[in-house]
Structure 1
Amino acid sequence: MFRHKGKGRRYSHNLKLASILSGVAGLVNITGVLSVNSLTTNVTGHFAFFSEQLFLKNYEMALIYLLYILFFLSGAFISGLIIEWTTKYKPHSSYIIPLSIEIIIILFVGFSPDLIPGISQMIISSALLFAMGLQNALVTRVSQSVVRTTHLTGLFTDLGIELSLLFFHHQKARRKQINKSIFLKLMIILCFFLGGILGAFTYQHFQLKTLLIPVGLLLFALWYDRLLIRYYHIKRKLR
């Protein structure tokens, strides 16, 4: 899912990556909404709130929304920085550090009421936005901008365009390519939605500990990718 890049990357790699990490994003987003009433997987809404608070001259709140935007940006920046640096030395494991940081942050937020009683909503929102910035940049880099898992606006736009293309392209090869792209986007949307539904039901009983589910999914993704690396290594030895 993560280590294949360039010509070695296949459609199935992007499909697996999209399914797992869009589920993670859906879970994190609904947990943020229910716990601190804040969107934690994209910054579109925060730009609107930032503009609104500036108009109302509520500069303290405007600054908070600006910080949310900058935390998402910082997560994407740090992720890109780490991937670029580690690619020079360990290109097949450049994804491990960003994912590990994401796991640690989400775990911290999940247990934050026990670790820091009375933790502010701003810290929770900022931490989750940073984590989702990390994830979105990682997925974008690994998939070469084919997969994005933390917000759906662009996905629905691309999906609408590709659905319209089906009316004009009748060549078998081209239609197959379009259909695969449509299915990939539908899987991202579905898994994001399912993550949100699962998170909403789970939050009723476990509150912020709902975030243990996305942590489990991320650990599974790391384990699965490591398992595949060992499999291919053994396969080469046996040839």
Structure 2
Amino acid sequence: MFTHHGDQRTQTHNLQVASLLAVVAGMVNITGFFALLRLTTNITGHFAYFMSDLFRGELREALVFLAYILSFFVGSLGSSFFIERGIRRKKGETVYYLPVLVETALLLLAGFFGGAATSEAPDLVACVLLLAMGWQNALVTRISNSMVRTTHLTGLFTDLGIELSQLFFYRHKDEQQRLRSSIRLRLQILVLFFGGGIFAAFLFKSLRMHTLLVAAMLLVAGLVYDRWKQRTSAQIKN
């Protein structure tokens, strides 16, 4: 799941990583909205608010939305930097572990301290979550060779619409198999993103911002499973 990259990755690997990260993104999306009344997994709406406030001369409000946008961007930049550095240093099978651990740390930070800060500094908490989601979006884009996006649904619905339309025109067996495989992947991301959101909605009633700790633990479980699977495969080969 997190071990294979480049030509070594298969559709199964992409399905596994997409499943895990889509659930996490769905949980962050709902938790952030319930606790902060802000979108914390994408920046499209924030850019519109930024431009609106800027042209109305409400500079303080505009700067807040600019901070949201930059947080997502910095997360994407940081994640890509660590991945690229790991690849160039030939870290091999562990190149994606550090980025996953950093995202875990960000969610733990927001989960532990975000509850107290939601009333005092909600914008800061939102920035932390947007940083985490920008980080995740770059991570999953790099690891899947741009096949998977998990933090927001705009591009996902676009790709799904394109591929569904192509089913009517690409009739060769290999093309049909490729399209159907990609469509299943995108549908699975959609279902699990919504599932993660519903799961978080139920947890939020009792856990509040601590719901993010559950999301962080899912990432840790994913790393542990990936490492166990790798060692099991190595033992079988030997």
TM-score (norm 2): 0.95
**CA shift for structure 1 position 86:** 1.6
What's 1:76 paired with? 76
Contact kept, 8 Å, 2:40 with 2:133, in 1: the verdict is yes
What's 2:196 paired with? 195
**CA shift for structure 1 position 204:** 1.5
**Could you tell me how far apart the structure 1 residues matched to 2:224 and 2:116 are?**
28
Unaligned runs of 5+ in 1: none
SS at match of 1:4: coil
What's 2:96 paired with? 95
Contact kept, 8 Å, 2:107 with 2:216, in 1: the verdict is yes
Q: Structure 1 64/225 Cα, relative in aligned 2: closer, same or farther at 3 Å? A: same
Contact kept, 8 Å, 2:36 with 2:118, in 1: the verdict is no
**CA shift for structure 1 position 110:** 0.8
Unaligned runs of 5+ in 2: none
Equivalent residue runs for 1:33-48 within 5 Å: 33-48=33-48
Q: Structure 1 234/142 Cα, relative in aligned 2: closer, same or farther at 3 Å? A: same
2:237 is aligned with 1:236: yes
Equivalent residue runs for 1:1-239 within 5 Å: 1-87=1-87, 88-113=89-114, 119-237=120-238
Letter in 1 for 2:14: N
Deviations 1:4-60 (A, max 9, x none): 122211000000111110110000011111111111111111101111111221110
Contact kept, 8 Å, 1:71 with 1:129, in 2: the verdict is yes
Letter in 2 for 1:48: A
Q: Structure 1 210/120 Cα, relative in aligned 2: closer, same or farther at 3 Å? A: same
**Could you tell me how far apart the structure 1 residues matched to 2:187 and 2:234 are?**
33
SS at match of 1:33: helix
**Could you tell me how far apart the structure 1 residues matched to 2:118 and 2:151 are?**
29
Contact kept, 8 Å, 2:46 with 2:68, in 1: the verdict is yes
**Could you tell me how far apart the structure 1 residues matched to 2:157 and 2:105 are?**
31
